[in-house]
Amino acid sequence: MDNPDTTGTAPWSDADVQARVEALLKTLSLAEKVGQLVQIGAADFVPGPKPDVVIRQGGAGSVLWLNDTKRFNALQKIAVEESPSKIPLLFALDVIHGYRTIFPVPLALAASWDPATIEGAQSVAAQEARAAGLHWTFAPMLDIARDARWGRIVEGAGEDPYLGAAVAAAQVRGFQGAYLGAPGRVVACAKHFAGYGASDGGRDYDPVYLSENQLRNVYFPPFRAAVDAGVGTFMSAYMDLNDVPATGNRWLLRDVLRGEWGFGGFVVSDAFAVGNLVTQGFARDARDAAQRALSAGLDVDMASSTYLDHLTGLIEDGTIPLEVLDDAVRTILAVKVRLGLFEQPYTDEGLLAEVIARPEHRAEARRAAQRSMVLLRNEGQLLPLSKSLKHITVIGSLANSKEATEGSWMVFGHVPAAVTMLEGLRAKLPDATIDYAPGPEINRDIPSWFESAMAGGSRAPQSPEDAESAYQAALATAQRADLIIMVLGEHANMSGEAASRASLDLPGRQEEVLKAVVALGKPVVLVLLNGRPLSINWAADHVPAILEAWEPGTEGGHAVADILFGDANPGGKLPVTFPRKGSHAPLYYARNTTHSPEESPLYNPRYWDGLPTPLYPFGYGLSYTTFALTNLAVSAPQVRVGDSASVTVDVTNTGAVAGDEVVQLYIHQRFGSDSRPMRELKGFERITLQPGETRPVSFALGPAELGYWSSHAGQWVQDATTIDLWVGSDSRATLHTQLVVTA
Ligand code: GLC
C-alpha cells in the first residue's frame, strides 16, 4: 500500500523547480501565460464557454467544481495533448473535512484540541482526494469567528487565534504531508484571507471593519501559521475589508502576505470575486477589475473569466508590466512541477476504490469523532449509560439524517452515507428495543442557492397538521421507553456558507418537544448535532446529560454510541463560547476589561435585560472522570523582555476511569503599551491519564507568546510588565501565579 511519504524530502530542490519553471515560462506565449491564471468552473451553473473548449485553446490552468476521475483524465488529455502550451491542469475542490470518508466538521475537529487528530483527519482526506484525481483543496478555512450567528463558523477553528494557529498548521501538514507535492497528498489553501468571520452582525458576505491590531493579533495568526507550515496557496475573501475588497487589497496580498510573511505560493480569488470587484463598487469595469486584482497580488481568477477576457490586452497596452504577469505564472507552474504533473498528469482510475476502502480510514473517522465531542452536562452521572438498558426511545429528525450527521460543506457530488445516531445506537445495543420518532421537522425559513447545488439541501416543508401529529407521536413513543435520547440541533444546511441566522435557539419546535419529553419524568439524554453554538438555556438547566456531538461525520453514530455507553470517555473542549442569546453576539472570552469590571462595586450590567455571561465558556468540557491541577510553578519569578520562562503544573486523574484532560494556560498583561485582553490562551496540551496517575505538563512563555502588535506603537512590542498566569481546564481557570517581565 503506497502510504504517502510523510517523512521524506522533496525530489526537487527549489533551484531545480525554479530552473524548470523558467524554462517553461520561456516557451509560453502571452495568451498561454494568461491561461495559467484562469480557473474554470466545470459545473453546469457556471456561465460561459465549456471547459473542454477553453482548455483546448489554452485558456485555463486549473479547473474546479468537478468531481469525476474519468472527466479529470479527459480534460487533462486535452490540456496535455491538444492545448498550445501542453501544460497540465490542476484540479481543485472543497475537501473541507473528508472526501469520501467524512470527518467531523472543522469546528468539531478543533474541539478535540488535538493537532495529531486533526492532521490525521486531513491526511486521510488528502489520500482519498488525490486518489480521485484532485490536486488541490480549498482548505483549511482559517477565519477566526467570534459571532456564532455567522454560518461559516462551522468551517473554522472557533474564536481563538492561538488554538486557530495550532489547528491551521496541523491541517496544512495533514493535507500536504512532509513537502508540497508529496505523493498521496494535495496542495492546501489557506482561506479566506482575511477577516471574513468578522462581518457585521454575523451576516455572511457583509463588509468587515477591523483595526490593524485586531487583524494582526486575532485574525492573522492562523494564516501566518499556515505560511510557516508551508501552505501552497491562499484564497482571498469575498468581502470588503475596511472598504477595500480583499480580492483587490494590495496591503493584504502583497505587503503583508508576501512582503512581511514571505509567502511564495499563489493566491486564488473566491468564486467570481475578481469580476465582482465591479459589483462591490470598487472597480469601474471588468478591465479595471482585472488590472487592480492582478496588481494587488491576486494570481488566479476563480470562475469569473475576467482575467481571460482582459489580461492580454492590459499587458499588450503596457497597463500591466509583463513581469507582473510572469511572476504570477511562475507560482502556478512551480506547484505543477512540485506535484509531478509533467511526469504523471493522469490518475489511475482504479486507485480510488482501493484507497476509500482502507478500514483504517473509518477507524480514524470514528476516533476523531469521539475526540471532538464535548460533554456539556452530566448531572447525577447519568452517563455513561448501562448496556443492559432494554427500551430506549430516540427522538428528533436529525437522529436518522445522514446529511445532518456528515454536516455542511459536503464534497461536490458526494452522497451522504454516514452511520446516523439511530443506527449507531441500535448497533451498540442489538438486543434492546430502540424506538424512533422524528418529531416535527425543522427547516430554514429562507432557503439558499446552495441547497439546489449541494447535499444537505432543504426538505419539503411540513404542514402544521403533520408537524402536530409528529409531535404527538414522539410523546407517545417516549411514554413507552425507560430512557429517551433526544437528538436536536440544526440540519447541515443551517450552517455553512449563506447560512447565517439571527437566533441561536433550537430551530422549529425542538425545544417544545424536549420540554414535553422531560415532563414525562423519565431520564433524558440530549445529543446536539449542530454547526455553531446554540443557546440551549432551558436544556442546560433541565436536561441531566448533554453531549455536543457537532456534525460528526461518517462514523458519527458509532462515535456517539461509544461515548453514551462508556466505550469512549469524552475529552473535547469548546473552541468557541456558547452565548445565551444570538443578540449577545459577538461574545468571546479574550476581551479587554473595562473601568466597570464585574468585580467592581460600581459594576454596571452590560444589558439591563439579562447579563451576557456565556452559557458555556471557551475551553469548557467535562469528562467521565475528574482531574486536579496542582503545583503550578514558573521557572523564574521574573525574566527580561525577550527571554523565556517555563510554566509547569501537575495534572492528576482523581477519578475511577482513564480520561483526557486539555490543560490550558491563559495570560493577562496588567499594563503596557496597549490594554490587553483579560485572558488569552497561550498554551494547551491534551493528555491521557489513568486513574490516580499524575503527570507534569509544561509550557514555554517567551516573546512569541507575550509579544503583540501595539495599536499605540504601531509595531510589534513586548512590554516590561507583570503577567498573570492561570492554568486550568477551561477559560475560567483559577490556579494562578504571575511572572514579572523586566526591561
Ligand atoms: C465558495 C466559498 C469558498 C469555496 C469556493 C469554491 O463560495 O466561499 O470557501 O472554496 O467558493 O467552491
Contact 566, 589 (CB under 8 A): no
The reported pLDDT for the residue numbered 730 is 98
Give the residue, by CA position, lying nearest to ligand 1 atom 11. Answer: 271
Q: Is the CB of 196 under 6 A from ligand 1?
A: no
Q: What is the pLDDT of residues 216-239, one digit of tens each?
A: 999 999 999 999 999 999 999 999
pLDDT at 7: 57
Taking the centre of ligand 1 as the mean of its atom positions, its distance from the CA of residue 143, in whole angstroms, is 13
Domain boundaries, the chain: 1-93+265-272+300-357, 362-573, 627-742
Provide mean pLDDT across the span 478-505.
97
Q: What separation in Å is there between the alpha carbon of 37 and the centre of ligand 1?
A: 17
Q: What is the pLDDT of residue 412?
A: 83
Q: Is the pLDDT of residue 109 over 60?
A: yes
Asked if residue 240 has its Cβ within 6 Å of ligand 1, the reply is no
Is 143 touching ligand 1 by the criterion CB < 6 Å?
A: no
Does residue 362's CB lie within 6 angstroms of at least one atom of ligand 1?
A: no
Flag whether pLDDT at 456 surpasses 80.
no
What residue's CA is closest to ligand 1, atom 8?
270
Q: Which CATH architecture has domain 362-573?
A: 3-Layer(aba) Sandwich (3.40)
Q: How far is the centre of ligand 1, averaged over its atoms, from the C-alpha of 663 (Å)?
A: 35
For cell 495533514, name the residue.
174
| Residue 344: pLDDT over 70 | yes
- CA 270 to ligand 1 centroid distance, Å: 6
Q: Is the CB of 497 under 6 A from ligand 1?
A: yes
Whose C-alpha lies nearest to ligand 1, atom 10? 138
How far is Cα 197 from Cα 219, in angstroms, rounded to an integer?
9
Residue of 143, 160, 240, 270 marked active site: 270
270 Cβ inside 6 Å of ligand 1: yes
* Cβ neighbours, 10 Å, residue 8: 12
Q: For ligand 1, is residue 188 a contact (CB within 6 Å)?
A: no
- Among 571, 576, 547, which residue's Cα sits nearest to residue 681? 576
Residue 138 CB–ligand 1 contact under 6 Å: yes
Among 8-12, 161-165, 197-201, whose mean pLDDT is lowest? 8-12
Determine whether the shortest distance from the Cβ of 152 to ligand 1 is under 6 A.
no
Cα–Cα distance, 270 to 417 (Å, whole number)? 29
* pLDDT for 3: 42
Contact 622, 652 (CB under 8 A): no
Mind spelling out the 3-state secondary structure of 183-237?
A: CCCCECEEEEECCHHHCHHHCCCCCECCCHHHHHHHHCHHHHHHHHCCCCEEEEC
Q: What pLDDT, in 10s, does the model give residues 416-452?
A: 999 999 999 999 999 999 999 999 999 999 998 887 7
The residue nearest atom 7 of ligand 1, judged by CA position, is 271
Task: Please report which helix (H) or strand (E) contains residue 265, including its range.
Answer: none
Per-residue pLDDT at 702: 97
Residue pLDDT, tens place only, 563-596: 999 999 999 999 999 999 999 999 999 999 999 9
Query: Quick check: CB of 730 below 6 Å from ligand 1?
Result: no
Q: How many Cβ atoms are within 10 Å of 15's Cβ, its own excluded?
A: 8
| pLDDT, mean of residues 154-163 | 98
Report whether pLDDT(738) > 90.
Answer: yes
Measured from the Cα of 138, ligand 1's closest atom is 10
Whether residue 168 is predicted with pLDDT greater than 80 in this model: the reply is yes
pLDDT surpasses 60 at 1: no
**How much is the pLDDT for 409?**
85
- Same topology between domain 362-573 and domain 627-742: no
Distance, in Å, from the CA atom of 28 to the CA atom of 23, rounded to the nearest integer, reads 10
Active site residue 270: yes
Query: Cis bond leading into 614, ω under 30°?
Result: no
E strands in 570-693: 627-634, 638-640, 645-653, 659-669, 680-689
CA of 501 to the centre of ligand 1 (A): 19
> In the chain, what percentage of residues exceed pLDDT 90?
93
| pLDDT of 514 strictly over 70 | yes
Tally the residues of the chain. 743
* pLDDT score, position 457: 56
Q: Is the CB of 94 under 6 A from ligand 1?
A: yes
Q: What ligand 1 atom has the least distance to the C-alpha of 271? A: 11
Tell me, in angstroms, the distance from the centre of ligand 1 to residue 212's CA: 26
SS3 309: helix
For ligand 1, atom 1: residue with the closest CA: 271
Mean pLDDT of the chain: 96
- Mean pLDDT over 41-56 rounds to 91
Ligand 1 centroid vs 185 CA: distance in angstroms?
20
Residue nearest to atom 3 of ligand 1 (CA): 270
- Ligand 1 centroid distance, CA of 272 (Å): 10
Cα–Cα dist 462/480, whole Å: 26
Sheet with 483-489: strands ordered across: 374-378, 545-548, 524-529, 483-489, 391-395, 433-437
Q: Take residue 244 and report the three cell numbers written for it.
A: 477595500
Cα separation, 17 vs 11, whole angstroms: 10
Of the pLDDT bands very low, low, confident and very high (cuts 50, 70, 90), residue 454 is: low
pLDDT digits (tens, 9 = 90+) for 525-539: 999 999 999 999 999
The pLDDT assigned to 410 comes to 84
CATH of span 627-742: 2.60.40.10
What gap in Å lies between CA 207 and CA 199, rounded to an integer?
6
Q: What atom in ligand 1 is closest to the CA of residue 238? A: 8
The alpha carbon of 243 is separated from its chain's Cα centroid by a whole number of angstroms, namely 26
Residue 2 has pLDDT above 60, yes or no: no
- Sheet bearing 627-634, strands edge to edge: 627-634, 645-653, 694-701
pTM, two decimal places: 0.98
The predicted structure's pLDDT at residue 455:
52
